[in-house]
Structure 1
Amino acid sequence: MKLAIITDIHGNELALKSVLQEIDNRGDTEEIWCLGDMIAMGPDTNEVLDLLFARPDIRMITGNHDEAILSLIAGEGHPESYKHTREHHEWIAKRLSTDNFMKLKQLPRMIEEEINRTRIIGIHYHIALDKRNTHIKNDPFHSILEPTLENMENMFENYPAEIICFGHHHPEHLFQNSHQVYLNPGALGVSKGNTAPYAIIDFDERKPIVSILHAHYDKKTFLQKFDTLKVPQKEILFKLFYVANKA
Structure 2
Amino acid sequence: MSHPLERIALISDVHGNLTALEAVLADIDARGITRILNLGDYVGKGPRGREVIDLCRERCEVNLLGNWDDFLPDPDRTWGGEALAWWLAQLSEGQGEWLRSLPFSHDFTMSGRRIRLFHASAGTVHRRVRFDHDEEEFLGMFANTPATGDGPEPTVVGYGDTHDPYYEVDRQRRTLFNTGSVGNCMDDPTPVYVILEGVPDSEVEAPFSIQFVRVPYDVEAELAVAGEMGMPELAAYTSELRDGIYRGEMNDPAGPGYHRRPRP
Structure 2 length-normalised TM: 0.77
Structure 1: which amino acid aligns with 2:52?
V
The equivalences for 1:160-171 within 5 A come to 160-171=153-164
Cα deviation, 1:47-88, whole Å, max 9, x if unaligned, reads 111111112x431111111111120xxx2114x6xx4xx432
Checking the alignment, whether the CA contact within 8 Å between 2:165 and 2:178 is kept in structure 1 is: yes
Q: Residues of 2 paired with 1:223 and 1:24: CA distance?
A: 25
Alpha-carbon offset, residue 237 of structure 1: 3.4
Cα separation, partners in 2 of 1:76 and 1:109, compared to 1, 3 Å: same
The match for 2:116 is 121
Alpha-carbon offset, residue 104 of structure 1: 2.2
Cα separation, partners in 2 of 1:158 and 1:127, compared to 1, 3 Å: closer
The match for 1:196 is 191
Checking the alignment, whether the CA contact within 8 Å between 1:12 and 1:189 is kept in structure 2 is: yes
Checking the alignment, whether the CA contact within 8 Å between 1:148 and 1:175 is kept in structure 2 is: no
The equivalences for 1:176-191 within 5 A come to 176-177=169-170, 178-191=172-185
Q: Residues of 2 paired with 1:113 and 1:184: CA distance?
A: 17
Structure 1: which amino acid aligns with 2:39?
L
Structure 2: which amino acid aligns with 1:15?
A
Q: Residues of 2 paired with 1:123 and 1:195: CA distance?
A: 22
Q: How many residues are matched?
A: 224
Alpha-carbon offset, residue 158 of structure 1: 2.5
Identity percentage of aligned residues: 23
Alpha-carbon offset, residue 193 of structure 1: 4.4
RMSD, matched Cα: 2.2
Checking the alignment, whether the CA contact within 8 Å between 2:219 and 2:241 is kept in structure 1 is: no
Alpha-carbon offset, residue 230 of structure 1: 1.1
Checking the alignment, whether the CA contact within 8 Å between 2:191 and 2:215 is kept in structure 1 is: yes
7-16 or 152-161, larger mean C-alpha shift: 152-161
Alpha-carbon offset, residue 194 of structure 1: 5.5
Please tell me whether residue 36 in structure 1 is matched to residue 21 in structure 2: no
Q: Residues of 1 paired with 2:129 and 2:173: CA distance?
A: 23
Q: Which runs of 5+ in 1 are unaligned?
A: 133-139
Q: Residues of 1 paired with 2:28 and 2:120: CA distance?
A: 24
Q: Whose helix proportion is higher, 1 or 2?
A: 1
The match for 2:241 is 242
Structure 1 length-normalised TM: 0.82
The match for 2:72 is 69
